[in-house]
């Protein structure tokens, strides 16, 4: 049984899925990359082992039991690595992996970085982080009773998101 604090951390507010053979050839719109190609490649290289969900779990990513969806699309299941939640965002170490359900099991679609808001005041944003020149969304209240006010950034590096690589919801994804 998960403790209340961990459940709150894992309650992150938090389709076309490619076969494993095609994952390396995922095409992202060139306008989305705008000089970020090497960085996106670095994210992919760092997260490629996690196409295997068991490898993600072995690396410390803990599964949530809710597939997050909205009218705008889905985020999928959030696998959260608690040890990264308190760390500064690192391109090669996302704190969350986003998995999408398919007939063949869960497939890695994207990643997410989460950073707590330093002053826990959702009306200020002087500590807003960014990666790849993209500012994180927020600050926003926690998605569970034990999650702090935070910022987050999604990156759909393994599945094309027609709404934009850094949009939280992917209209091609579903739960």
Full residue range of the structural domain in which residue 129 is found: 4-10+28-155
For residue 172, being part of any structural domain is answered with no
Name the more confident of 3 and 50: 50
State mean pLDDT over 23-34.
38
Mean pLDDT of the chain: 83
C-alpha Rg value of the chain to the nearest Å:
15
For residue 56, being part of any structural domain is answered with yes
Dihedral Cα 149, 157, 78, 76, nearest 10 deg: 110
State mean pLDDT over 68-79.
97
For residue 44, being part of any structural domain is answered with yes
For residue 23, being part of any structural domain is answered with no
pLDDT of residue 7: 39
pLDDT of residue 30: 39
Number of domains in the chain: 1
| CA distance readout (Å), 6 to 97, 98, 144, 147, 161 | 16, 18, 10, 9, 30
For residue 163, being part of any structural domain is answered with no
Q: Given a cut of 50, is residue 11 above it in pLDDT?
A: no
For residue 137, being part of any structural domain is answered with yes
Q: Given a cut of 80, is residue 59 above it in pLDDT?
A: yes
pLDDT of residue 144: 81
pLDDT of residue 146: 85
Decide: pTM greater than 0.75. Answer: yes
State mean pLDDT over 62-73.
96
For residue 108, being part of any structural domain is answered with yes
Q: Given a cut of 90, is residue 34 above it in pLDDT?
A: no
Q: Looking at residue 49, what DSSP letter applies?
A: G
Contact indicator for 125, 138 with CB cutoff of 8 Å: yes
> Which secondary-structure segment (H or E) carries 31?
helix 30-33
For residue 169, being part of any structural domain is answered with no
The end-to-end CA distance of the chain, in Å, is: 24
């Amino acid at each position: 049984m998960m403790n209340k604090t961990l459940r709150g951390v894992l309650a992150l507010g938090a389709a076309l899925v490619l076969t494993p053979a095609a994952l390396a050839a995922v095409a992202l719109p060139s306008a989305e990359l705008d000089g970020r190609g090497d960085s996106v490649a670095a994210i992919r290289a760092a997260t490629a082992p996690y196409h295997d969900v068991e490898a993600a779990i072995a690396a410390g990513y803990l599964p949530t039991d809710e597939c997050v969806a909205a009218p705008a699309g889905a985020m999928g299941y959030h696998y959260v690595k608690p040890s990264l939640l308190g760390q500064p965002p690192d391109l090669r170490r996302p704190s969350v992996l986003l998995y999408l359900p398919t007939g063949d099991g869960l497939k890695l679609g994207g990643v997410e970085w989460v950073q707590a808001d330093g002053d826990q005041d959702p009306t200020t944003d002087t500590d807003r982080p960014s990666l790849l020149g993209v500012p994180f969304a927020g600050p926003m209240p926690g998605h569970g009773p034990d999650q702090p006010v935070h910022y987050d950034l999604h990156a759909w590096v393994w599945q094309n998101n027609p709404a934009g690589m850094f949009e939280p919801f992917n209209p091609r994804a579903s739960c």
